[in-house]
Amino acid sequence: MATVLQFDEINALAQEIYNRTEFLPKERRKKEITDEIEDLLVIAYVFGEDRVLEAVRSVPNFQDRILPEEWENPDLTKEEVAEGLKPDAQSLYDTVYKQIAGKDFAQRIADRIDEETLDLPALQRIAETEYHRCEETGAYDTAKKTEKKTSLWGFKVWNTMLDERVRATHEYLEADEVGLDEHFVTFDGDMARYPGDFSDPENNIGCRCSLSYTFR
């Protein structure tokens, strides 16, 4: 499965960054790692956008479903409509630098370098978790924009990796389908609009679930 490969690639990249920066002075190491992870998170967000745009493109003549009042010039090709459904740069930036418990990813990495607790598994876990969060947010933001600018309605299905590492609270959601604005609610009472969006951080760390979107 493509998703498995992806996580392997993220782990390999994190290992490469870790090895290359291990003996650098702290401040330089923070900067190098932050720059590399930032690039990775931008890629993740755009990859999420692309996943949803692919779902939009699978609707026949989706360009005819635009709401004319939402577009400056409603006479558009399929390509132009797909381009217009991408979230703006601010949404991407806000996602990459989202603060969790008062800290963004760069501060989380910097803290661990200062405390000398940044070992390779820790960096890999940070890279995986943040990548996953950005990809799923990019997908969700694109789906939201699609609902705003077209007459299409979005639906989402929760997919786990179907292996023994899937936690029970996420396994509970396997194959659930809800409308775009709805939350997935699991048995511990926590809820999320998409993977990585639970209020309990323990439900987000290390999550590998993903959503598949459809538009009708």
33: phi then psi, degrees, rounded to nearest 5:
-65, -45
Residue selected from 209, 210, 213, 215 as contacting Zn ion according to rule CB under 5 A: 209
161 counts as binding Zn ion under rule CB under 5 A: no
Q: What is d(CA 81, CA 123) in angstroms, rounded to the nearest whole number? A: 38
Q: Kindly state the smallest distance separating residue 207's Cβ from Zn ion, in Å.
A: 3
Residue selected from 132, 145, 170, 193 as contacting Zn ion according to rule CB under 5 A: 170
The site that binds Zn ion (CB under 5 A) totals a number of residues, namely: 3
Q: Which residues contact 137 (CB under 8 A, 6 or more apart)?
A: 45, 48, 95, 98, 194, 196, 197
207 counts as binding Zn ion under rule CB under 5 A: yes
Q: Which residues contact 130 (CB under 8 A, 6 or more apart)?
A: 37, 40, 41, 44, 105
| Residue with smaller CB distance to Zn ion, 146 or 210 | 210
Q: Kindly state the smallest distance separating residue 11's Cβ from Zn ion, in Å.
A: 17
For 65, 93, 131, the CA distances from 108, given in Å and listed in that order, are: 43, 17, 14
| Residue with smaller CB distance to Zn ion, 71 or 172 | 172
29 counts as binding Zn ion under rule CB under 5 A: no
